[in-house]
Every structure is written in structure tokens, then in C-alpha cells.
Amino acid sequence: MDGAPVGRRVFLGLAAFGVSGIVWGSKAAGLMERLLAPVAVKDGTGLLGLLPTGRFRIYSVVGSLPDRAPSDWRLDVGGLAGAPYTIGYDELLAMPAVELTKDFQCVTGWRVPQVRWKGVRLADVIARAAPQPQATAVSFESFDGAYTESLTLEQARRDDVIVAYELDGKPISSAHGGPVRLYVAPMYGYKSLKWLQRITLDAAPRPGYWEHQGYDVNAWIGRSNGRSDEPA
């Protein structure tokens, strides 16, 4: 057969390029997010939202996406507490609100620029339960029945750790962990437990679902899990 053997070269070259991207792709992804993030914030067309950069990826740990209407949602706060309590969605919204606008950084590499969160400071939610002196940690449970997380009490009292109920000006959808989730700004996304239903004051941190999968308990962005991302 005559002619130049171009087809096979294109095939092998592209396949080698693509497969080797498993190794170099994380650097390229970081570069791409830095280049596109400023454009995406100003993008009025929404077209960039279709591209695989600067967007949320939805992970869940059980079979189906947990779903609970705000009217059925309750939060239990208890454990080593002098005044354990339960509140509903409307009561949570009646508490003093704070807003945070920060990048959301996942430990698997993706980063969503400038996400707007609204909620109640976790410090306020905890203080209302009157923690006992021996309480040094806080653990969280999701109503999906599997997802758990924890923080030290000191971490939990930071101003940038909130019990969130709004994402980008809208109630948090089920896919994003609604109606109420945790948002732990200085740490990787897996610490921001979705579908929050119980907060327990503990004597020591209890490693959660993802930490049992091998992730760090103290998940500071850029200073854990072997990664070097910019802080959010």
C-alpha cells in the first residue's frame, strides 16, 4: 500500500499524549484553573460553566443522592454538652448569619473559584449547647448514614467554619449537600461534610469516612495530603 503512514503515527502520538497525562495532568489542571478562573468569574454567557474547569464534581458515599426537604430537616447538637438541643431549618436561618466568598478546593485537584456561602458560624451553634470542659473535639454525621467528619474544638471555633444553608445565593441543593452542610473554608472539601444532621461534642477527634480511606485528619489546604495548593 502506498502513501505515508500518517494515521498510525497520529493514533500512537495522541494515545501516548493522553495516557501520559495521568502523570502530567495535575500540573496542567492547576495551570488551566489559574488561567481560566479570572475569566470564569466575569463570564456572563455561562459557556465556561460547560467546560471541565472550575466546576464542582459531585461525590457521594452511598448509593443514592440523599434528599431531605428543609421542613423535614433537624439538627441535633449534643454529646459532652450542658444544654444539648435540636433545631429545625427555620430556627437555623433565624440565627445570626455570616457570608463567606472563597475558592472551593478538592483534594482530588479541582477548584471552584469564588463560591459564595451563607450560614451560621459553627462556633455559635456549638456555644448554644454549652460544651463541657472535657470537650476538645466535634464530630459530624450526615443523614446519608455513612458520611462522618470531625474537627478539634479549636478548629471548629474559627470564623471561617460555618453551618451553611445557601450556596451562590440559593438554597443548597441535594447534590451539593443540602439543605444544610458544613463549610470548612481552610480545609480540603471532604472536611465540609454534606447533608449535616448531627453534631457531637467529643473528648477526641474521630477520623471520618474519607480519613478511613487514607486522607489526612487535619486537612489544611496546601499543607496536607501531599498537596501544595494555594489557600482558599
Q: Which of 6, 42, 44, 71 binds another protein (CB under 8 A)?
A: 6
The secondary structure of residue 212, as a DSSP letter, is H
Phi and psi angles of residue 169, each rounded to the nearest 5 degrees, phi first: 80, 0
Q: Which of 7, 44, 133, 169 binds another protein (CB under 8 A)?
A: 7
Nearer to another protein (CB atom), residue 8 or residue 42: 8
Applying CB under 8 A, which part among 5-13, 83-91, 125-133, 143-151 lies near another protein? 5-13
Nearer to another protein (CB atom), residue 7 or residue 44: 7
Retrieve residue 47's grid coordinates: 459557556
The secondary structure of residue 34, as a DSSP letter, is H
Question: Are 96 and 117 contacting, i.e. CB atoms less than 8 angstroms apart?
Answer: no
Contacts of 123 (CB under 8 A, 6+ apart): 156, 157, 158, 159, 161
**Contact set for another protein, span 152-211 (CB under 8 A):** 173-176
What is the rounded distance in angstroms from the CA atom of residue 61 to the CA atom of residue 175? 12
Nearer to another protein (CB atom), residue 157 or residue 176: 176
The site map against another protein for 45-74 (x = CB under 8 A) is ------xx---xxx-x-xxxx-x-------
Question: Are 112 and 153 contacting, i.e. CB atoms less than 8 angstroms apart?
Answer: no
Where on the chain is the footprint of another protein (CB under 8 A)? 1-8, 10-15, 17-19, 21-29, 32, 51-52, 56-58, 60, 62-65, 67, 107-110, 173-176, 214, 225-227
